[in-house]
A and B are shown apart, each in its own frame.
Chain A
Amino acid sequence: MRRPEPLAWPPAGVAGARTGARRSPGRLLLQRFLRHRLALASGLLLLGLVAAALAAPLVAMALGLDANAVDLLDRFGPPSAAHPLGTDELGRDVLLRLLYGGRVSLAVGLLGALAAALIGTVIGLLAGYAGGRTDAALMRLTDAVIALPLLPLLIVLAALDYSKLGLPGGLMRSEQGSLYVILMIVALVGWTTVARLVRGATLSVREHDFVRAARALGAGPAWIMGRHILPNVLSPIIVATTLSVGNIVLTESVLSFLGLGIQPPLPSWGNMLTNAQDTIWQAPALAIWPGLMIFVTVIAFNFLGDGLQDALDPRSGQH
């Protein structure tokens, strides 16, 4: 992440001379510090969150608790040694549920973003490289998906009875079933940004001489797309995917909050807030923690994406 100072181009003195004395070296340093350190701090924070979520079973062992253990005699408990963040409306430990919920929410965010990026990359490459009618049809499809009122349709998709489509009903009703459905839904609607970016980048890369040379040497379209174009369009994919993780975490949490995403007792940060509004008078803290986790995660992914954009695409920055 750290930039090697002596190699920075143009050298600080030249940049200063060109833009005038308005930007002193100290100020430049401060600007770099604020901009990239924010992304760096976000990355570290996210690593910490992932580690904490992975360590959830260890924390459960250390506390001697079970995340799903209901204790109706200890509802809305205040923070204590046994329950560091207190207990919820069923007497379950809030800290443990936050950690286990983090596993679900982060997994949906990361896997969903990857799946969406995969779909978007394939569609974008095909549209950009094939051109003509394929391009027109795929881009019309992309425009149509972008133009839809997303949340109401997502609610419909989440409420469907997938056993009517011939999918195994037992699997769909299992605890993990809602996880698969959510992953499919977010991937299904999340690919549009990547598809557009990849198409745009492909259009310009395919005109380069090295692509023409590869074609002259007898390379097939699949080889050219995978070997020559894909590596050159990776940076917009990385940036867009990072930014989309935040959006997917938001989408999952909204659907789970509305009772249509991750189904309890499997905790997610979204469904932990489903009952928070009803119990807001007795236990306001229950309404704070899961939302704060979502907010921090999403803003960290947004900062990280912004930082990556500046680092990977210097032209997008204001120099």
Chain B
Amino acid sequence: MLRYLVQRALEALAVLLLMSFVIYLLLGLMPGDPIDLMASGDPRITPADIARLKALYGLDRPLLERYGHWLAGSLTGDFGYSRIHAVPVLEVLAPRLVNTVWLMGLSFLLACLIALPAGVLAAVRPQGWLDYGINLVAFAGLSLPSFWLGILLILLFSVELGWLPAGGVGTVGGGGLGDRILHLILPVLALTLLTTGRLIRFTRGAMIEALRQNHIRTARAKGLAPAAVVLRHAVPNAMIPVVTVLALDFGSLFSGALVIETIFAYQGMGKLIYDAILGNDYNLALVGLLFATLLTLLSNLAADLVYAWLDPRIAYAPA
């Protein structure tokens, strides 16, 4: 088990390192570098100044050398300065990460609380009316464009009803915990709705598979109550793949969070990355993207571990 863990962790680390290079390379292909931007805003800067500035920041060096320099710095915890915010990158990042973890964590919890029972209920009588109803809801959730859902929620709860704020993380210059919670409701609701559909479909599929097994027929044949058959004999087996997908989904929740944060002007990691890319803030964008990659890799790692823990055959299988 420990060997398996170490092996998976090393693989994740290798992917992270590779991604840091790929992202570094890609950001070099973005339109306009920081010095060109500076020069275009100030007519007094001469080509000689530009060359001097590029030499100062090492932008005249070959790509690999620059990347090596960045990597050496980041290994000592120096990720550079943010161009937009004019403070070290990590200082901008930390509070945003906290906001995003709240948003993703709450949505994830809610989605599990809705999707798991719904998926099990749908699977108990496949093709029944309840199954059709739950399936329709799940398909609707799968097919909703995230940004449109956000706009619709704003339209309903902020514009028409005026119950909830349309965006932000809190009222400027005041507001306590209650205010923060009010600002969280719509983004969390939107992200939850987007996640539930897939989870319901998956839970239902896993449950139907589990209910088809022979030991279920045995349990039914010996006269066990239907509820006990489902809850004690089928659910635990169905949960093995479901928990794995749950862990995987936590990482992919980040893509949804990015859109939702942008719509609701919620100051999280996703919006930070989006603004950094559009604002040519390469240091910030690079580290933000790497954090997002790390988050996804960690959830994949968690999925692998949970799977190996629930189903011990996995860890000993030849890779």
Hey, which bits of chain A sit against chain B, CB under 8 A? 31, 34-35, 144, 147-153, 155-157, 159-162, 164-165, 246, 250, 253-254, 257-259, 270, 273, 276-277, 280-281, 284, 287-288, 290-291, 294-295, 298-299, 302-303, 306, 318
Contacts and interface: CB of A to CB of B under 8 A. Distances in A.
10 contacts: A149-B251, A150-B255, A155-B273, A156-B30, A160-B29, A258-B147, A259-B278, A294-B145, A294-B148, A299-B142
Contacts of A280: 151, 154-155, 159
B139 interface: yes
B292 A152 contact: yes
B293 A148 contact: yes
A318 B151 contact: no
Contacts of B300: 147
Contacts of A34: 132
Contacts of B273: 152, 155
Contact of A299 (B140, B252, B258): B140
Contacts of A35: 127
Interface in B236-277: 251-252, 254-256, 258-259, 262-263, 270, 273-274, 277
Given A273-B148, A287-B151, 10 more contacts: A35-B127, A149-B252, A149-B295, A151-B259, A152-B258, A160-B30, A253-B147, A284-B155, A291-B151, A295-B145
B31 interface: yes
B159 A254 contact: no
Given A156-B277, A284-B159, A287-B151, A295 B143 contact: yes
Main DSSP-derived SS at the B contact region? helix
A258 B274 CA distance: 9
A45 to B, nearest CB: 13
Contacts of B208: 318
Interface of B: 15, 18-19, 23, 26-27, 29-32, 126-127, 132, 139-140, 142-148, 151-152, 154-155, 159, 208, 251-252, 254-256, 258-259, 262-263, 270, 273-274, 277-278, 285, 288-289, 292-293, 295-297, 300
Nearest to B127: A31
A298 B296 contact: no
A295 B293 contact: no
A298 B145 CA distance: 9
A165 B29 contact: yes
A259 B147 CA distance: 13
Given A160-B29, A273-B147, A152 B255 contact: yes
A254 B150 CA distance: 12
Nearest to A296: B143
Nearest to B280: A159
Contacts of A258: 147, 259, 262, 274
Contacts of A151: 254-256, 258-259
A149 B147 contact: no
Contact of A152 (B142, B145, B270): B270
A302 B144 CA distance: 11
Nearest to A140: B11
A280 B259 CA distance: 18
B143 A254 contact: no
A162 to B, nearest CB: 8
B258 A156 contact: no
A34 B133 CA distance: 11
B147 A254 contact: yes
Contact of A246 (B143, B263, B285): B143
A153 B289 CA distance: 8
Nearest 8 pairs between A and B by C-beta?
A291-B148, A151-B255, A299-B143, A161-B31, A298-B143, A149-B292, A318-B126, A294-B145
A273 B15 CA distance: 36
A179 to B, nearest CB: 19
A106 to B, nearest CB: 15
Contacts of B15: 144, 147
Contact of B277 (A155, A164, A277): A155
A300 to B, nearest CB: 8
Nearest to A144: B15
A157 B148 contact: no
